Structure 1
């Protein structure tokens, strides 16, 4: 990697990775090429496929025509708190939108690369209508929400066919944790089991012959189909003086563009290389400028809502006060100089400006996620201007926040399980030696409701894997044998790569509460998930 943001010398650039060319993918691509019309919104033609011999554009080339330095802008908000009977509609379609002032073609919810932030409340019965105006199947996953994994709730087996509409109904428990979540496509393929439009929302029912086939999660998230969610307001958990501080939602997501201005996609003739030059954006903006007053404390809701790449965050000269992780209030408030956000990860942090005017930068530090993984350059994300009238210094926060979860360190363990992550780009990605199958879990025995299990996550490969569990957050007990202090729960944890043949290990404890059904787990590098590193566990009453 060179030191210029995202630029890789041609002699050192690896071949495009992350996507396996399969018979199904080739057939799908031929159908796309043969199609006379592809539905677009705001665009007059279907995306143009890039040549396999064409070198990726450098970051500087992709940024050409983009505007940097604009005032920081939060995403638009769809807020059921102010409109309790509001039905949220998300219209998924191929779109020509502006990204930092440049015309780009991808996919969107409601027409913008930066999808609206959904604001829900604990105890709420929310209806979210997904309109699929794409040319392929899609669905929604409400990442981190503690809601049912069945029926018309957060069921990732649901398949919404092109040209159809499906109504998701989320019943949030009254004690649902308040914090930052996100939503995105979880499409486990490009077609539904039937071509009939009446199959919208049909569950992909497994059959004995149902084997592995690539999903479309990476393509759809990378093209634009992801956004933030906020449940409640975790400022209410803070001391009274902090309950009205300014908040900002910080969606971290990159784009890779081809020469025609399309976001790169996996097809039969091109693929997404997560190690290639890319443009890192914040809420769809390039290097925006956020203003904070001297002495002011703000709450930043940080989320990696991208498909594949990692962010290693540092605010130069400052520390983050972490009050929540993956939507769960902290059982122990901590401070950190850096935060590692693999795909899917979120942190709610307090930032307090210095007493003197000045400028600093939020950046993603240079980072590599293993010898078989990616190597990312140091990249500034946005400027922070400390300016204006000085504010009264507000109290610091420590200890446990109200409604934080109980410590599972001494919990009774109903069952212990092993989850082994292995495979690579050429052979596919595996859990316990098999690629994802809709008709079978990697576990022979189900989990029982209202019990706690201990899982040992083992990574045999040369690349870190961010492990994500749907429906229930978990507590990390140890990493590579080192006991972890209890700070709360999370739904995504990096499992370290093997070193000198010794696998990386993470031990977690999972409380299965409230909901039965198929609970999915997978690597949240979307390309790995698409290519087999995914399974589910049956939870029974």
Structure 2
């Protein structure tokens, strides 16, 4: 493995918060010294020290009482294929759980901050029972799965009221791509319609002109309602010598705590401050240690299952071999020094340890997503301890993998559409000048089943927006006018922010195959979709 040097973009700032953040920084500086001393002794008094101020706790204060350096642990797996008697039930409830050994209050599926990993196989009929023991409405979205967007399948318009149970039924096509997906709440409000009509939406306005009401996706994902989902086993696509290597699911998700040990929430007027101090966790662990043998190759399933913040990953001294993106096997295996994961993004990568014992660190590099966006510090995520008996290094993987999806570069385009992203924290967020409406799309004409469309996505905002489409993965054709070589399809792409008066622009091609219904698309920063940057397209036969 060759050594690498990460590129650190210029850090962005939320312009509207400059003065507030300056005051916060002064207060945090006075608190962090005392908090660091307490944290070094493993005590929990740091959070108590914040009780005299309304300022956010520093990262050191939030980490006080957490345990770092534990062995890396994958989430438990719920699998109806290898364990036929397993019933997949997800119990959503307000929970007091452990986060890195510290008692924290949030929301969970089945009692953990990181939900269990679901495992399906192509061609499977899967039933998932959602029990809503929350005090607010909720639902489920199976992010990236190519299944129906209607009825009791992956329908984000469903509203599961408090105290009720709903059975989701997913029919995965026999040729469904194998790789890493995830699932999470897609609650578009906190209450269900009084008439009980699920498709009427949650507490969104029923008709144009009735005003806009924000959703609850940010609060519910941030509090704990998300987890990984794996379809099949993409090791089977690799050469025979690599089909039995170790795998690890790496859920990337941060936590912000208040002085009482509760995960912070947004309010009716403000979103969670994604630029505030936060604790970066891996599978709910703080700086765990993953042991790898010298020369050993492993498959890591990297998934950003958080609500708002980005990860710019680097494994010090190594390169990632990318075999899949957003659950789709690579049509061309590539290597990368760094990987950018906005909320919702996934990569399946091979990592091969060096031949000698030692150690390295997976980190998220310092990163800014635009002048009106966030500025994140360089933060270590977990340590890789290379130890034990050496293994013979396996040959590298190259070329295309079986089951990759065909290139759409020469496909017939049935329709061209324009999608314009705009807005900010103070004004709200918009697609084509409109905030999300349950009763109408930003498009006046539907998409036709079994056609390919070309969408030009323009970003007029001062921060990058990760654009996501449900049901169908797409192909990126160009970014800011630069043609993109085809390496596979994806379901989430960062759209660059406006720079020097020139909007960012991404061109994609979307195949609408197999399923009709309302297919949603939105920015996957949860605060932005909650506050209007979301719509849908009707797909008709």
Task: Tell me the TM-score normalised to structure 2 length.
Answer: 0.89
The Cα shift of 1:11 comes to 6.1
Give the length in aligned residue pairs: 497
Once the two structures are TM-superposed, the CA of residue 200 in structure 1 deviates from its matched residue by 8.6
Q: Deviations over 1:365-403 (max 9, x none)?
A: 000000000000000000000000001111211111000
User: Is the contact made by 1:460 and 1:504 (CA closer than 8 Å) also made in structure 2?
Assistant: yes
1:212 shift after superposition: 2.5
Superposed CA offset, 1:417-440 (max 9, x none): 000000111111000000000111
Q: How does 1:263-278 map to 2 (within 5 A)?
A: 263-267=263-267, 271-278=271-278
Tell me, what secondary structure is at the counterpart of 1:257? coil
User: 2:475 & 2:86 partners in 1: Cα distance?
Assistant: 34
Residue 158 of structure 1: SS of its match in structure 2? coil
Distance 1:269 1:539 in 2: 34
8 Å CA contact 2:89, 2:128 repeated in 1: yes
Q: Which string of whole-angstrom CA distances, capped at 9 and with x for unpartnered residues, describes residues 38-94 of structure 1?
A: xxxxxxxxxxxx999710000000000000000000001001121246431000000
Using a 3 Å threshold, how does the CA distance of structure 1 residues 52 and 132 change in structure 2: closer, same or farther?
farther
Unpaired runs of 5+ in structure 1? Answer: 1-8, 17-49
1:13 matched to 2:21: yes
Task: Say if 1:428 and 1:531, in contact at 8 Å, map to a contact too.
Answer: yes
Deviation at 1:318, TM superposition (A): 0.1
Q: 1:313 aligned to 2:313? A: yes
1:135-214 equivalence runs, <5 A: 135-194=135-194, 199=196, 204=201, 207-209=206-208, 211-214=211-214
Q: CA deviation at 1:267?
A: 2.3
Work out whether residues 180 and 301 of structure 1, in 8 Å CA contact, stay in contact via their aligned partners in 2: yes
Change (3 A) 1:487 1:381: same
Match status 1:417 vs 2:417: yes
> Conserved in 2, the CA contact under 8 Å of 1:183 and 1:227?
yes
**Structure 1 length normalisation: TM-score?**
0.89
Corresponding residue for residue 360 of structure 1 = 360
> For the residues of structure 1 that align with 2:472 and 2:228, how far apart are their CA atoms?
19
Counterpart residue number, 1:382: 382
**Counterpart Cα distance in 2 of 1:420 and 1:268:** 26
> 8 Å contact 2:518–2:538 — kept in the other structure?
yes
Distance 1:261 1:300 in 2: 31
Aligned residue runs from structure 1 range 41-440, under 5 A: 54-84=54-84, 86-194=86-194, 199=196, 204=201, 207-209=206-208, 211-267=211-267, 271-440=271-440
Summarize deviations over 1:330-382 as a string: whole Å, max 9, x none.
00000000000000000000000000110000000000000000000000000
Matches of 1:270 and 1:259, distance apart in 2: 19
Look up the SS of the partner of 1:493 in the other structure: strand
Offset of 1:482 from its aligned partner? 0.3
Name the CA distance, whole Å, in 2 between partners of 1:533 and 1:268: 17
**C-alpha contact 1:161 1:201 (8 A) present in aligned 2:** no
SS of match in other structure, 2:486: coil
Structure 2 gap ranges (5+): 1-16, 25-49
Q: Given that residues 69 and 289 in structure 2 are in contact (C-alpha distance below 8 angstroms), is that contact kept between their aligned partners in structure 1?
A: yes
Cα distance in structure 1, aligned partners of 2:84 and 2:481? 47
